[in-house]
């Protein structure tokens, strides 16, 4: 793309700035500055005067304009102490440069280079139960019957609730829509699932479960979404509607239901994970929700359970204890599990019903657990494996999942949940109603 290097002069709030059309083109076609260009990226001239004498007046903050212009010139974001970040974000929104600011503030996610950015104290009474990272760098936190929503600059949006019933899980459909799953209230038809606007808190629609052509009230549990615009949730009804429901993300209509078979557990699932490569759904019901653990892979195309494992009837040794979380690793055809001592275990997805191979090299602690332990959680991102334990998060890398780094903060107590998304890691603490934000610093200037 050939861009003419014309000089451009701006008068912003009484201060004069001079730059080139090449620099302004870095803002992109959809920005404020993109409107100054023609289709072939030639700068539009507002009158017949020579372009060198043309000056554009903008009645905005000149200090913020200076920072944003420098960002377009160099790609680096340097915020002087006299410029409040909130003001800068407001001006960046006006010019259509929020994405530029966000990408300059932190780099591509790398668990081994994460640095603590900030801690955010919640306003809700009691402890948080779940935190979910949004695709744009924001997050949402479930506290009892309310979900608190934060954008990427950590400003809080209107809180969400579904009939003020206890929230079981939260999931982002996209950067503007959030799903809540909640308990039903007997006799009222409250609870279930709802889709909300992140920005306004508006309930856009409630999801329904149909059983034998009748709409049923239900308790919705674990949530996940797929790349082909489907929403999955574990469901418990009062009749026979126990299993995994499937809804169309666009219309909100139920399109499928996988019923729970006798002797197995689907409706009480703690965790769902969609696997794009195999077009299957991981469903895990874990201790202590049930006395035993049930992990399965469901193929909805032919309503078949293609892989399963349970510790039912198996002896539990002192070292292994119970499986507390699990995650599927498609690239290595494996299921990873973790116990309360943060021992990692692995199962081969190519072998149905095999045993867990525990890795003692991953053991982070032995002996007595804390008085109020938070059970470990697992996450997989960019080929790195993350496991929380007490007040820290461990990072494992390589084919043998070697421990490479640990993230820890001294404030807030044990980590009850964490989530990765939008190139950030969010860690929710159990004791002080606070969550931490971890970011990867931008790459150094070469």
Q: How far is CA 235 from the centre of its chain?
A: 22
CA distances from 396 to 82, 159, 338, 363, 374 (A): 41, 35, 13, 12, 20
Ordered per-residue pLDDT tens for the chain, 446 residues = 444 457 889 999 999 999 988 899 899 988 998 888 777 666 666 554 444 457 889 999 999 999 999 999 998 999 999 999 889 999 999 999 998 998 888 888 999 999 999 999 876 655 678 999 999 999 999 988 999 999 998 999 999 998 889 999 999 999 999 999 999 876 666 678 999 999 999 999 999 888 777 888 889 999 999 999 999 999 988 766 799 999 999 999 999 999 999 889 999 999 999 999 999 999 999 877 777 899 999 999 999 999 999 987 666 554 556 889 999 999 999 999 998 888 899 999 988 877 888 876 445 444 445 555 678 999 999 999 999 988 899 999 999 899 999 999 878 888 999 999 999 999 999 877 789 999 998 877 66
DSSP label at residue 125 = S
C-alpha 90/C-alpha 95 separation (Å) is 9
pTM here is 0.87
Structural domains present in the chain = 7-105 (3.30.710.10), 115-439 (2.130.10.10)
pLDDT for the residue numbered 41 = 62
**Which has the closest alpha carbon to 146: 132, 134, 133, 163?**
163
C-alpha 424/C-alpha 111 separation (Å) is 9
The SS3 assignment for 428 reads strand
C-alpha 217/C-alpha 39 separation (Å) is 54
Q: How far is CA 280 from the centre of its chain?
A: 21
The SS3 assignment for 347 reads strand
């Amino acid at each position: 793309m050939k861009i003419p290097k014309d000089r451009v002069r701006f008068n912003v709030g009484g201060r004069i700035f001079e730059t080139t059309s090449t620099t302004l083109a870095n803002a992109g076609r959809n920005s404020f500055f993109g409107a100054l260009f023609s289709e072939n990226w030639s700068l539009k001239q507002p009158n017949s005067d020579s372009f060198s004498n043309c000056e554009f007046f903008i009645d905005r903050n000149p200090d913020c304009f200076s920072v944003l212009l420098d960002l377009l010139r160099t790609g680096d974001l340097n915020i002087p102490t006299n410029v409040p970040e909130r003001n800068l974000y407001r001006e960046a929104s006006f010019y259509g440069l929020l994405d530029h600011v966000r990408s300059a503030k932190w780099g591509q996610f790398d668990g081994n280079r994460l640095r603590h950015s900030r801690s955010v104290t919640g306003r809700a009474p009691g402890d948080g139960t779940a935190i979910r990272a949004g695709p744009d760098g924001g997050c949402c936190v479930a506290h009892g019957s309310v979900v608190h929503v934060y954008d990427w600059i950590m400003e809080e949006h209107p809180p969400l609730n579904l009939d003020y019933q206890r929230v079981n899980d939260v999931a982002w459909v996209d950067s503007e829509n959030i799903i809540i799953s909640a308990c039903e209230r007997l006799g009222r038809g409250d609870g279930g699932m709802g889709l909300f606007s992140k920005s306004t808190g508006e309930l856009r629609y409630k999801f329904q479960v149909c059983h034998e052509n009748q709409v049923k009230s239900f308790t919705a549990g674990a949530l996940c979404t797929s790349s082909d615009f489907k929403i999955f949730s574990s469901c418990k009804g009062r009749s026979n509607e126990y299993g995994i429901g499937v809804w169309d993300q666009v219309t909100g209509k139920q399109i499928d239901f996988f019923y729970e078979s006798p002797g197995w557990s689907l409706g009480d699932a703690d965790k769902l994970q969609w696997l794009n490569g195999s077009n299957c759904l991981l469903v895990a019901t874990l201790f202590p929700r049930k006395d035993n653990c049930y992990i399965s892979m469901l193929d909805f195309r032919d309503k078949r359970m293609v892989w399963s494992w349970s510790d039912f009837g198996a002896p539990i040794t002192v070292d292994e204890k119970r499986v507390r979380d699990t995650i599927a690793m498609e690239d290595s055809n494996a299921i990873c599990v973790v116990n309360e001592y943060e021992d990692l275990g692995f199962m081969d997805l190519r072998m149905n019903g095999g045993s867990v191979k525990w890795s003692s090299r991953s053991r982070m602690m032995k002996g007595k657990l804390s008085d109020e332990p938070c059970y470990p959680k697992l996450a997989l991102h960019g080929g790195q494996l993350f496991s929380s334990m007490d007040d820290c998060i461990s990072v494992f890398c390589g084919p043998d999942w070697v421990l490479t780094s640990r993230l820890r903060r001294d404030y807030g107590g044990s980590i009850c949940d964490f989530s990765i998304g939008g190139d950030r890691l969010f860690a929710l603490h159990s004791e002080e109603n606070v969550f931490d934000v971890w970011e990867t610093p931008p790459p150094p200037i070469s």
